[in-house]
Homo-oligomer: A and B are copies of this chain.
Amino acid sequence: MQGPRTVAEQVANVLREAIANGTIKAGTPLRQDELAEQFGFSRMPIRDALRQLEAEGIVSIHPTKGAQVARMDSAEISEIYALRELLESEALRLSVPSLAAAKLDEAEQVLDQIDAERNVGRWGALNKGFHLALYDACGNHRLLGLIEAHHNAADRYVRILLSNLDYRNRSQTEHRDLLAACRRRDGDKATSILRQHLREGSETLVSAIKEDGLSRKS
């Protein structure tokens, strides 16, 4: 496993992380020459990075108007969560029967890390890690890719969600229930818990966004 080979990839990774953990807020304009000066490179690799992030749905680019961190209204959040429910429940269903014990243990360790982690910015990535570990044996690489893409697109909003202590505790309880069902190889129960888990997340997030007024577009 080697690191990013091009400047564009490095820039994309830094920007993705900064957007995911909230350092760069939604709606922030991302000017090419501004970023070029900050990173110490020319505009070309920054352009490549922005287009990469656009493909991931994290930034939106309008020709001649430039790029900005993609704003999401509550409708888009709902869409993403509906897709996550569809994609992840299918991945879980496929994965559970042949999931290796090592992956189950790995998932459990991630849950412990979430409990121990005090840095808000890490929660999104850990949450993603837990979920993906359970889907590892689904046998469909493209499906896993889509799931990861949707996690990345919504990570910065999930972070808002997890900042709420009540939700975080409830979420972790559901995570452990989900893991237990996977250990019992009870695919039906597991997908049922997952769907419920995602529905709660969606509802909590949508109401949080509506009242915080984060949904207004530029």
A55–B49 CA distance with the chains assembled, in angstroms:
12
Does any Cβ of B come within 8 Å of A90's Cβ?
A: yes
Q: Assuming A6-B63, A63-B5, is B52 touching A83 (CB within 8 A)?
A: no
Whether a CB of chain B sits under 8 angstroms from the CB of A125 is no
- Interface status of A35 (Cβ within 8 A of chain B): no
Question: Contact: A143 with B83, CB < 8 Å?
Answer: yes
A35, chain B: closest CB distance, angstroms: 17
Instruction: Provide the main secondary structure of the chain A interface.
Output: helix
Which residues of A129-156 are within 8 A (CB) of B?
Answer: 140-143, 146
Q: Can you list 16 residue pairs at the A/B interface with Cβ under 8 Å?
A: A5-B63, A5-B64, A44-B44, A48-B51, A51-B51, A51-B52, A52-B55, A79-B140, A79-B141, A79-B142, A79-B143, A80-B142, A82-B140, A83-B143, A86-B86, A146-B146
Q: Interface size for chain A: under 10, 10 to 19, 20 to 34, or 35 or more residues? A: 20 to 34
Interface centre among A55, A76, A141, A142 (most CB of B within 10 A): A142
From the candidates B6, B48, B76, B142, name the one contacting A83 in the complex (CB within 8 A). Answer: B142
Chain B positions within 8 Å of A140 at CB level: 79, 82-83
CB distance from A17 to the nearest CB of B (A): 19
Does A193 make an interface contact (CB < 8 A)? no
Asked if A87 lies at the interface with its beta carbon under 8 angstroms from chain B, I say: yes
In the bound complex, residues from chain B placing their C-beta under 8 Å from that of A44 are 44
- Judge whether B87 and A86 touch: CB under 8 Å: yes
Q: For residue A51, which residues in chain B have a CB less than 8 angstroms away from its CB?
A: 48, 51-52, 55
A82's closest neighbor in chain B, by CB? B140
Q: Give the distance to chain B from A199, nearest Cβ to Cβ, in Å.
A: 15
Task: With both chains docked as a complex, state the minimum distance between the C-beta of A112 and any C-beta of chain B, in angstroms.
Answer: 32
Q: How far is the CB of A20 from chain B (nearest CB, A)?
A: 18
Contact bitstring A64-99, B, C-beta under 8 A = 1, else 0? 100000000000100110110011001000000000
A63 to chain B, nearest CB (A): 5
Q: What are the residues of chain B within 8 A of A79 when measuring CB–CB?
A: 140-143
Within 8 A of B (CB), among A30-79: 44, 47-48, 51-52, 55, 57, 63-64, 76, 79
